[in-house]
Amino acid sequence: MQSQRAGNALAAFSFVLWGLLPLYYQYLPQANINDLLALRIVFSVPCMFLICMMLRQPLPKLAELLKDKRSLVMAFIAGLIMCVSWYAFTWAMTHGQVLAASLGFFINPLFAIALAVFFLKERLSHAQVMAVILGILGIGYQVWHYGELPWISLIMGSFFALYGLCKKNIRFDAMTSVTLEAALLAPLAIGFLAWTYIDGTSTALYADSSTLMLYIGSAPVTLAPLVFFALAINRTSLTMVGLMQYIEPSLQFILAVVLFNEVFDGVKAVSFGFIWLGLILCTLEAVLRMVKRRKRMQTS
């Protein structure tokens, strides 16, 4: 029981850290997203090695990794997919679009449900069907009024769901997988940084030291919640993780509206309302299942 409580606390803390990330990116307004992503990838590698040392979790040797080439390939693909999601996320964070990022994470479970149906042949419950329909109505309402799709939100939500699907096909543990995703992409990131430095077009590498450190700091800042999440996942249930994942976009929503004064008009209120209603239905269904499961365990 204590282990599960610790897992719940770690999971909640990880989502709180993710939710507060916009506060960090406010120090990098109009940042060069290419430089930011490349530096994050490069410095994620030493950060992950340091974290593994602190947690006393040795990474597998190269020979062991090469035995599972499928997982290596999937780790590389997962890293590329995550780059797209992070690119959209960091652009939103640094260009006054925190509300769009919040929407992206709110609709992510709907994309995950769709992928589970198409690729894993899972069957939807009634609540999940309603959530998908309400999500489509919410996005459709925005398109109808604004005349354009919320591209940033859709890219974030869909690619993060694809990332989760790829992770299901990686047989390495969570810490090894995250380290590999960065390590496999690091040569590409280093090549890009070298090219922009020689070409003289790099914003970050020619910036003052404090700005450069903020770019580099994006690696540990974004890895910290991931580590706490990895520590939590084996100590708590996936149901609890699923229920707590809405902490992140909720905090981002509050920061966007209250602190950053982003516009939350009637159209967005209706759109978010449809999506929230669908998520509430799924949450209630998950809670009822958890309560029934506990009752069966107590009676058996």
pLDDT in tens, the chain (300 residues): 556 777 778 888 988 999 999 999 999 888 899 999 999 999 999 999 888 888 788 777 878 888 889 999 999 999 999 899 999 999 999 988 999 999 998 888 888 888 877 887 777 788 888 888 888 898 998 888 888 888 999 999 899 888 888 888 888 888 888 899 999 999 999 999 999 999 998 889 898 999 999 999 999 998 888 788 777 766 776 566 666 778 889 999 999 999 999 988 898 999 999 999 988 888 888 788 878 877 777 776
Range of the domain at 107: 2-299
* Contact indicator for 218, 39 with CB cutoff of 8 Å: yes
pLDDT at 210: 92
Residues 6+ apart with CB under 8 A from 84: 155, 159
Q: Which amino acid is at 295?
A: K
Measured between alpha carbons, how far is 51 from 122 in angstroms, rounded to an integer? 36
Write out the two tokens for 139.
């996005």
**In this structure, what token pair is assigned to residue 108?**
């992510």
Amino acid, res. 194 = A
pLDDT of residue 60: 77
Give how many domains the chain has, as a whole number: 1
The residues, ordered by sequence, that sit 6+ positions from 179 with a Cβ below 8 Å of its Cβ are 45, 48, 49, 52, 59
Ordered DSSP codes for 78-145: HHHHHHHHHHHHHHHHHTT-HHHHHHHHHHHHHHHHHHHHHHH-PPPPHHHHHHHHHHHHHHHHHHHH
Q: What is the pLDDT of residue 281?
A: 87
Whole-model pTM? Answer: 0.86
**CA distance linking residue 60 with residue 63, whole number of Å:** 8
